[in-house]
Structure 1
């Protein structure tokens, strides 16, 4: 049977990457994604009105309360929130405790209001489809796909998942993740290891890392790489061409985690997404 030439193989690799990255860009630019975030509000015990959000908000004893004045409205799953009557025709809605790194989305007119917990604190982030960051988004530059940066590795599970504390893009908070194991691989003739966190898809892994390009051609704080579930022998493919930016690369209204110290690589990973246009002027 005929075999593919190196040129044909490279062309297929590039075409698959282009298709993947175009899909990733479409997901990034959805009307209520992180590019639509207009404010980041940290809730306190005293009720406060928040810019871009109806109601007065407070958080106490792991519960969030919003008091809506007459004429103000919030929806959850398409249904109007009906709270308990309080003074002057207002109503108070109390939300159940939210797990760390979890959240719910409410609707206020054309905006989505995210209520979430980050670093043990409650936050409210309105997301508006007319936000200039979203309306003016022109895509993210990336290195040309290079098969040299799609490398094999071996996943080694820890005896028990290790709680791993990392910093955040927002000063003063930390994230704690369960690290189930590490991935060992070789790049540029060096033996390297990255601590892995659980990915979104069952069995998949997520890597947060920096490298010698960080703060130069790529975003300084972090990049992320999703790795498919290991095979029965623990083998994985780390395709750094699919390393992507986290929301903090685009906006200061994000609380993204930083890589653990051991995931700061000395090699240059000249693959994947580069500095966003929105940050290039500041680096």
Structure 2
């Protein structure tokens, strides 16, 4: 006997969501992704040596720079950097990822999460790493990432509410007369992020119209940062993010809250994630999407 149409449709919806979420989790656990971050350091005129990353880092008259000792090497776009190098020429869009190999780790006989042979990004030749240098507001940060990050090694995944088609809500996109630049705060004090907002997404629930400011994404997609009545209880307190496919020509869109995801700040203190604009707090529980992680990487 074939399944009832509703059951078959729900099963297909759940299977599609499961495949999407598993793929999202795989991308989140890239060996040199944000969950591999081992620190966050603010650079100034005083030379800084940070644990787990080569070089002495500072900000000079021409911007951020690194001084590499004998035997220390970073690579940027295939170019090997040695000695003292200015980083501004490499910082496209305000960020550069500088790759390195820590040859003091991952040697034969190493054990545990720190450089165990065969672990992603580690070998008998060392541990792969990235030094991310980015501008944040008026400051410059250095954020090392290492493939032997203890947090990444212990990460067990992200729990989420069961997929529910009822949380795929019909919405409409209401465009502003022209896109505006919106500035929002970050989880770290003193930092703001700027986004282009082309308008808002509106939907009906419990007899009320709710409006969410939307930010421009790739290929016409729209992203909303939001809080709701589950925030700080079953979901991460600061924010969740939801991307909606590009609206149709008539403005019709779908907000599938099953695909609401955590930003990196839910997992690590080494993050500068944005928080939602004030109007993007929903007054009801969105019992859909990702829940608060079981553990986080702490700066303490």
Partner of 1:93 in structure 2? 85
Q: Which string of whole-angstrom CA distances, capped at 9 and with x for unpartnered residues, describes residues 206-262 of structure 1? A: 110000000001000000001111111111110000000000000110000000000
**Secondary structure in 2 matching 1:202:** helix
Measured after TM superposition, the shift of residue 189 of structure 1 is 3.3
Task: Name the CA distance, whole Å, in 2 between partners of 1:220 and 1:163.
Answer: 25
Q: Which string of whole-angstrom CA distances, capped at 9 and with x for unpartnered residues, describes residues 160-193 of structure 1? A: 2222121111122111222111111113432100
Partner of 2:188 in structure 1? 170
Gapped regions of structure 2 (runs ≥ 5): 102-127
Change (3 A) 1:168 1:10: same
Moved over 6 A (4+): none
Residues 62 and 86, structure 2, Cα contact 8 Å, conserved in 1? no
Deviates more, 1:164-173 or 1:225-234: 164-173
**Secondary structure in 1 matching 2:9:** helix
1:268 paired to 2:285: yes
Partner of 1:43 in structure 2? 43
Task: Name the CA distance, whole Å, in 2 between partners of 1:194 and 1:119.
Answer: 25
**Secondary structure in 2 matching 1:277:** coil
Measured after TM superposition, the shift of residue 4 of structure 1 is 6.4
**TM-score w.r.t. length of structure 1:** 0.90
Partner of 1:28 in structure 2? 28
Change (3 A) 1:155 1:137: same
For 1:1-283, list aligned pairs within 5 A.
5-61=5-61, 63-82=63-82, 91-96=83-88, 98=91, 102-109=94-101, 110-199=128-217, 201-278=218-295
**TM-score w.r.t. length of structure 2:** 0.85
Q: Which string of whole-angstrom CA distances, capped at 9 and with x for unpartnered residues, describes residues 93-136 of structure 1? A: 01226466x41211110111111112232111111111111001
Cα root mean square deviation, aligned: 1.7
Change (3 A) 1:157 1:61: farther
Size of the aligned set, in residue pairs, is 268
Task: Name the CA distance, whole Å, in 2 between partners of 1:276 and 1:176.
Answer: 27
Gapped regions of structure 1 (runs ≥ 5): 83-90
